[in-house]
Chain A
Amino acid sequence: MPTTLSRAADGTSRRRRGPRTWLAALPLLAFTGLCFGIPLGAIAFGAVTRTDPATGATQLTGEHLARSLQGPYLGSLLGSVQLSALTALIGSVLGVLIAQAVVTSRSGALRSAALTASGVLANFGGVPLAFAFIATVGISGVVTQLADLTSLGWSLYSFTGLAVVYLYFLIPLMVLVIAPALEGLRPQWREAAQNSGATGWQFWRHVGLPVLAPSLLGGFVLLFGTAFAAHATAAALVGGSVPLVTLKIADALSGNVLTGQENVALALGLDMILIAGLVMAVYLPLQRRSARWLR
């Protein structure tokens, strides 16, 4: 009885309140349109047009995009993709190992501590991380001096060094993403597999991994996207000795601007957005799939 009443009331008030609630969302939509839409439009527009400084005439052109896919620019794109793929792969594997170790441990305190720490560490990067590593394994870093790493050919300011630094925030990220999925592996499945005479390997091969696959892939893709968009860490650390697309864009923007440099920066930005969009397009469906198991 009360339900029908409230539902009726609901229906009438809904109709009456419709336009007003719609207005509440208007400022947000207007803001994103202005402050996010216009810069995006400027990127797309600048990447595919050329404005003649003398006449002010604007024409469509593919030259900026073509230039952004040649020579040193292409090298930086490939460098970024390589670094991101490598760190995402290593970070995924190590993250899964750590998450499995944490999830299967019987101590609840360890588990919540590890997950909280991961949440914090995954959000830690950028400038402070770069300096922490410079102080640790940089040229005059503490560990470098103690272990005499330089004689072993170690350099922080290189592709390898950057990968080691990136893993510092990528591994915790993977732990965060994969822990719920590992928690969702029901012990009953394992028992059922064992009672049917399956070995541990067979259980993982036929039950565990297929169930985890979407989460694993989703995590990998997410790590890739994160590493790909990273700029501050690399900027504070290597400054440009490693070819990365984010550093190239920063150079083109702030450096000695040759004519057309800004447009190439815009084209590179567009390349990045396309790759990042692709990453998200892969990640979101995977996340939805893996969510099915996590009831």
Chain B
Amino acid sequence: MAAMTSPAPSDTAPRTTGAASGDRPTARPRGRRRRPAVWRGAVLVLAGAYFLVPLLASFVFTVHVPGQGITFEAYTELLSADGFTESLLLSLGLAAATIVLSLLLAVPALIGVRLGSPRLRPVVEIMCMLPLVVPPIALVTGITTVLRWGPEHLSRTPLYQTFLAVQNENFPFVLVLAYTVLALPFVYRSLDAGLRAVDVPTLVEAARSCGASWPYVVLRVLLPNLRASIAGAAFLTLALVLGEFTIASLLGFRPFAVWIVSISGAQARMSVAVSVLSLLITWLLLLALSRAGTAPSTAAAAPATTSRKET
């Protein structure tokens, strides 16, 4: 069903090149075919080594203590480690709130723009894509400045309470707002790709002329068609929030990534163990995402990296 409702992922592109390069009517088939095989193998082996060695070495580092042998303490002691569960739960809560908020904002906007306001489309696209241009660290400088206005200028107004509320240690809503801004480009791309594969006006016309109410149209006709791209957007956002460090640490909160750094001094082995684990979890998420066939077109999703992982 996903294949019906989502664009074909880029990695299942038609294999013309592979098929055609095999039966190339060249004048000198032999010399031509053997040399590339050698360099190709060399390149792939070297690349594989570069990308696999850090992962394997990290794992060895966590289980092998020089002079003591193999121990899995770094993993078994995780759950009882000070702050592990709190920070992980905080990150998951922030991720859930970010996913809900960004979808609530983006889904109606995109459907609305498809239905009746084509002139708004570039405006919405630019608004969603702009956060890619602003590095997270620069965004933080702006956010801290705005937050400082609270005590400075607004201490006598009701707004001040809001400022305090969004900075609550237990659930800093200000992070949800910032992360939603960071996530919008990916959410937009994912949903846009999904909507492109669906003829929204026709579907709506059909449902409406059958007498369906508007909420029914959105919930029972449009959303099922967008299931895959909504899942994709949610996965990307989850990965983004779980790995986010810059904004949280500079605003003084302690979600998961910040916690990893904070224990690295005292418990180096455990910080590496957590890194390996969080890496595997993120990978599984993204693999599930690309399996679902909603991996947003790669070049488009590329700037993701910075904000996703590099925040």
Contacts and interface: CB of A to CB of B under 8 A. Distances in A.
Decide whether A and B assemble into one complex. Answer: yes
Interface of A: 6, 9-10, 13-14, 17-18, 20-29, 31-32, 35-36, 38-43, 46, 94, 97-98, 101-106, 108, 110-112, 115-129, 131-137, 141-143, 145, 168-169, 171-173, 176-177, 179-180, 183, 185-188, 190-191, 194, 218, 222, 225-226, 228-233, 235-236, 246, 249-250, 253-254, 262, 265-266, 268-270, 272-273, 276-277, 280, 287
Given A21-B116, A119-B286, A183 B13 contact: yes
A134 B310 contact: no
Interface string B251-284: 0000001001100100010011011101100110
- Contact residues of A: prevailing secondary structure: helix
Given A22-B116, A127-B257, A232-B257, A272 B135 contact: yes
Interface of B: 10-13, 15-18, 20-22, 24-27, 36, 39-40, 43-44, 47, 50-51, 53-55, 57-58, 60-62, 64, 66, 104-106, 108-109, 111-113, 115-117, 120, 123-124, 127-128, 130-146, 177-178, 180-181, 184, 201-202, 205, 208-209, 239, 243-246, 249-250, 257, 260-261, 264, 268, 271-272, 274-276, 278-279, 282-283, 286-287, 290, 295, 298-299, 301-311
6 contacts: A24-B112, A29-B109, A101-B43, A128-B274, A225-B306, A232-B257
A133 B138 CA distance: 26
Contact of B135 (A42, A126, A228): A228
- Contact residues of B: prevailing secondary structure: helix
A127 B275 contact: yes
Nearest to A51: B152
B115 to A, nearest CB: 5
Contacts of B143: 39
Sort A-B residue pairs by CB-CB distance and give the 5 closest, nearest first.
Answer: A24-B112, A39-B142, A21-B116, A125-B309, A229-B135
Nearest to B108: A24
Given A128-B243, A180-B298, A236-B245, A273 B53 contact: no
Nearest to A271: B138
B142 A43 contact: yes
Given A97-B43, A116-B287, A232-B246, A25 B136 contact: no
Given A25-B120, A128-B243, A280 B310 contact: no
A37 B295 CA distance: 29
A229 B302 contact: no
Contact of B105 (A31, A103, A105): A31
B144 A131 contact: no
A136 B134 CA distance: 32
B111 A24 contact: yes
A176 B139 contact: no
Contacts of A38: 142, 146
B22 A106 contact: yes
A99 to B, nearest CB: 10
Given A128-B278, A134-B272, A136-B54, A273 B18 contact: no
Nearest to B256: A127
